[in-house]
Amino acid sequence: MTAATVARISIAPVKSLGLVHPDSVELTAYGVEGDRVFAVIDADGKLANGTKHGPLVRVRTAYDGTRLTLTLPDGTEVSDDVRLGEALTPVFYGEGRAARLVGGPFAEALSTVDGSPLRLVRMDDGEGIDRPGDGTVSLLSTAALTAMADQAGEVEPVDGRRFRMTFLLDGVPAHQEDAWLGGEVRIGAAVVRVAGNIGRCSITQQDPDTGLKSFDTLKLIHAARGAMPTTEPLPFGVHAEVVTPGLVSVGDVVEPV
């Protein structure tokens, strides 16, 4: 039997902006080093995510631990050392998170792209994760993307970037990750505990290059998986917490402990 392996790694240095696909990442107690370090908030101090600000995904990001660079849709680069300002408590999914305002040119650049006033914040450790504590990384089988395409009558697999998963996995049947719920899984040099299903929202319907709605993922998930037992409605993929930190690279073996 072919072993499951890491097919692709995806992180977002700035939450809701364009994804980055490194060859290797370091898993820490807070999740992936360099992932969702920053977030964008609106004038009311709420997370500016893809639900209302989908086209922000057109902004590409690079962060080396000191300097942040945003590449805007017209190709303009905005880059500066990260300079932290006042402490804030932006609201993510109805709850306050600890963060610091980021100075420099970033707020103006993002506001121009979006057409509304936005600010950039640097999250405290782990505070940029959707499910702090038990949802620091996410896993999805590439076979699930092929199965969704087959269901929709599409020739090519559905673009996995729609789901913004940390790890896409080759070598396992569609949704094999569901069978790992409650257990531990070794990924490269790290071990994670699979804590729950990931319930999907309208953001997955958006094209990952434009941020505009282009494919009805939610209808397909409801039809194929809407009646299954799940920790969250409309499940597609799983979230996990890091038990043993370590390096994970594309091609590494993934197996239950």
Domain borders along the chain are 4-30+132-256, 37-123
Is the full-model pTM beyond 0.85? yes
| Cβ neighbours for 241, distance < 8 A, ≥ 6 positions apart | 133, 134, 135, 136, 137, 192, 193, 195
What CATH architecture does domain 4-30+132-256 belong to?
Beta Barrel (2.40)
Question: Does 207 have pLDDT greater than 90?
Answer: yes
| pLDDT bucket at 3, cuts 50 / 70 / 90 | confident
> What are the tens digits of pLDDT across the range 17-50?
999 999 999 999 888 999 999 999 999 999 999 8
For all residues of the chain together, what is the average pLDDT? 95
